[in-house]
Chain A
Amino acid sequence: MRYRNKPELQDKLAAEYVLGTLRGRARLRFQAWMREDAALRRAVWQWESRLAPMAAGVAEVRPPRRVWRAVESRIAGGDVARAKPGFWESVAFWRGWGLIATGCAAALIGALALQKPQIVEVPKIERVEVPSTKTQQSYVAILHATQGGGDKPVFIAYVPRDSDELWVRRVALDPEPAGRGYELWGLPAKAGEPPKSLGMLPKDERGTIKLAAAADQSLRDFPALAISIEPEGGSKTGLPTGPVIAKGDTFQVF
């Protein structure tokens, strides 16, 4: 990490992030980095505390009634994505004072709670070859239904750094048809190469899938993931046999 243990540089970047002049890819990289670096979150929080009073200088504008009505109906309809705590906290996404006090919370709220997948499209950063069975990077994949359109994700997978487990969460996946199971596949970059099974999805809304050896490799090599309907226990052929119900790209987060 170029900026780790360089507090002055961290502080400068945090200031520009809070001010809003850190833009584009730099902003995305910074948000991803903030997720994993407590010192950086603290620097951001300090700058937010310094600059926040500037908002007092903004004239109030009464929003139209329809905004409140929309908020109310979304809350009543449960369109809140993360009504129950659990999954993401355990990935340390929401834990820790810094995260809460900083804009990182806002960034992640935008990215995950409101299910706007484009926010998590972190640009790919340079990859480091290190032989290990655990991930050297963290990854996130957001899968959308292949049928019926809609831009809402139906399934999210996340692998923290230094892990050999895939954290999975069903956002809006229909229950499996009777006697069938959902199998998760890694889709290779090269055309013609067969998908590789990453395992069966747990039946619960949230769960984990243990990755085979060389977890990093198994995700790095698959720019996209897909879910297909298979016999319970998994495809007998080692390849998807049933219809693919969801698909989405994998992003290296950090």
Chain B
Amino acid sequence: MDPAQNKRLAELLEACARQDRAAFAQLYQATAAKLFGVAVRILRRDDWAEEVLQDCFVSIWSHAGSYSPGLSAPMTWMTSIVRNRCLDWLRRPKVEVVLQREDEDAEDPIDAVPSDDPGPLDQLARSADAKALADCLGRLEVKQRQAIMLAFYDGLSHSELASHMRQPLGTVKTWVRRGLERLKACLGSN
């Protein structure tokens, strides 16, 4: 997301706060595919992702006035809304049941990605504003990076990470915690 795009999205949000429906339609056009991608990746079910996306855009419309351009980029703000709503969604009891069933089928989120497809890390490295983060992720130990990326991209909890990575819960928790610490230190020094 380059500065010009950020500026454009911030202007659209500002117009939404003034109840400008045309601006909202443009905002949706510009961001829905990315946000839907985030939701589908975490929820792994299109129907749930559609529902979450719908709710999030209604929220974005009604709270556009709460967005402060000086504090976060528009995409950061909107992505946070979508990710948080997905994570809240995964907390519902009936969702856990479904996830367990999927786990029994040994569905592997990494295997699900075709091998010739560039992984998230490669795609990340291509986006200019994400390059620093990609560099720092690349410097983590492999297990730490895997755990963090599975948690972020696939919405896996500690216990889901443990069963997915076939490691004790405590080990996985340590990978996540140390990985985040190192990430923070690395980003801070950039």
Contacts and interface: CB of A to CB of B under 8 A. Distances in A.
Contacts of B32: 62-63, 67-68
Given A83-B62, A113-B59, A54 B184 contact: no
A106 B85 contact: yes
A23 B38 CA distance: 19
> For the complex, would chain B's binding face be called helix, strand, loop or mixed by DSSP majority?
helix
A56 B71 contact: no
Nearest to A15: B180
A180 interface: no
Contacts of B76: 48-49, 52
Interface in A20-65: 20-21, 23-24, 27, 45, 48-64
B87 interface: yes
Interface stretch (A71-79, A135-143, A146-154, A168-176): A71-79
Interface in A90-134: 94, 97, 100-103, 105-107, 109-110, 113-114, 118-119
A172 B149 CA distance: 43
A19 B180 contact: yes
A105 to B, nearest CB: 6
Contacts of B80: 18, 48, 52, 102-103, 105-106
Nearest to B131: A53
A21 B164 CA distance: 14
B57 A71 contact: yes
A118 B92 contact: yes
Contact of A20 (B1, B83, B181): B83
Given A58-B37, A59-B37, A105-B66, A52 B75 contact: yes
B29 to A, nearest CB: 9
Contact of A58 (B63, B120, B133, B158): B120
A100 B68 contact: yes
The 4 closest A-B pairs by CB, nearest first: A57-B120, A53-B130, A106-B84, A57-B124
26 contacts: A11-B184, A19-B148, A19-B176, A20-B83, A21-B151, A27-B88, A50-B187, A53-B129, A53-B130, A55-B34, A55-B38, A56-B1, A57-B134, A58-B34, A60-B34, A62-B32, A64-B50, A68-B25, A74-B54, A97-B71, A100-B68, A100-B71, A106-B83, A109-B59, A110-B88, A114-B55
Interface of B: 1, 21, 24-25, 28, 32-34, 36-38, 40-42, 49-50, 53-59, 61-63, 65-68, 71-73, 75-77, 79-85, 87-88, 90-92, 119-121, 123-124, 127, 129-130, 132-134, 137, 148-149, 151-153, 155-158, 161, 176-177, 180-181, 183-184, 187
Interface of A: 11-12, 15-16, 18-21, 23-24, 27, 45, 48-64, 66-68, 70-71, 74-75, 79-83, 85, 94, 97, 100-103, 105-107, 109-110, 113-114, 118-119
